[in-house]
């Protein structure tokens, strides 16, 4: 049980895909203009991570090693298509806001990296928990970036005005604001990790 919890929890902080491993930065920078976008992208990527890890772990022993990557991509693309269709059906506005970044989950380094380095070498339950942890870590990091950017860039969160009367820092909703926010969050993460080792 302890080992399973370790597999789940590592993606949240110790091996956070964005703040520690620095994978999946393209959606982190592009869609984190608002918390709504960040949560939508995080949930979509988490769904794909969990279910692709589940399937890949289940079929890992029957896939010939020379074609494993194309097989992984087919599995991942299938779940991305499911997410894209569900999002278009149930949340068309969010689907429009995320645009091309939902289909690009297929080539997201986090998804393929977890399939190759973890799900293809482990049993089903640890692979599912690895996907859940990495997905949750991705969503939390994306949400942190989005909260800072939306709050400072527009003075509101999820449509609720928090800073009324203050001029927004427009740079925060532009690409430089994304890079600045992400850099500060990565720096804070490294500081916390270095203090934890002492």
Q: What is the pLDDT of residues 157-174, one digit of tens each?
A: 888 887 777 788 889 999
In this predicted structure, the answer to whether residue 198 has a pLDDT above a threshold of 70 is no
**How much is the pLDDT for 26?**
85
**How much is the pLDDT for 1?**
78
Q: Which two tokens stand for residue 81?
A: 């298509």
**How much is the pLDDT for 131?**
94
Q: Which two tokens stand for residue 106?
A: 């297929």
- Mean pLDDT, rounded, for 44-52: 96
Q: Which of 1-5, 115-119, 176-180 has the lowest mean pLDDT?
A: 1-5
Q: What is the pLDDT of residues 95-152, one digit of tens each?
A: 999 998 999 888 888 898 899 999 999 999 999 999 999 999 999 999 999 999 999 9
Rounded Cα distance between 82 and 34, Å, is 24
Q: Is 111 exposed, middle or buried (0-12, 13-18, 19+ CB in 10 A)?
A: buried
**How much is the pLDDT for 168?**
85
- Mean pLDDT, rounded, for 69-87: 95
**How much is the pLDDT for 158?**
85
Residue of 53 and 155 predicted with greater confidence? 53
**How much is the pLDDT for 121?**
92
**How much is the pLDDT for 54?**
96
**How much is the pLDDT for 59?**
94
Residues above pLDDT 70, as percent of the chain:
99
CA distances (Å), origin 21, targets 11, 18, 24, 50, 127: 10, 6, 9, 19, 18
In this predicted structure, the answer to whether residue 46 has a pLDDT above a threshold of 90 is yes
């Amino acid at each position: 049980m302890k080992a399973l919890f370790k597999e789940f929890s590592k993606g949240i902080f110790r091996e956070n895909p964005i703040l520690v491993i620095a994978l999946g930065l393209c959606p982190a920078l592009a869609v984190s203009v608002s918390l709504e976008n960040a949560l939508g992208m995080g949930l979509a990527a988490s769904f794909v991570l969990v279910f692709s890890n589940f399937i890949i772990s289940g079929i890992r022993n029957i896939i010939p090693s020379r074609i494993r990557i194309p097989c992984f991509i087919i599995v991942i693309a299938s779940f991305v298509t499911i997410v894209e269709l569900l999002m278009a059906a149930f949340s068309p506005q969010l689907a429009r806001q995320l645009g091309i970044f939902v289909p690009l989950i297929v080539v997201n380094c986090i998804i393929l990296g977890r399939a190759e380095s973890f799900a293809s070498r482990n049993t089903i339950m640890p692979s599912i928990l690895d996907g859940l942890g990495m997905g949750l870590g991705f969503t939390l990091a994306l949400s942190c970036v989005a909260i800072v950017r939306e709050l400072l860039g527009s003075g509101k969160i999820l449509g609720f005005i928090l800073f009324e009367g203050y001029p927004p820092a427009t740079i925060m909703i532009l690409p430089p604001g994304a890079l600045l926010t992400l850099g500060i969050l990565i720096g804070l993460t490294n500081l916390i990790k270095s203090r934890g080792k002492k």
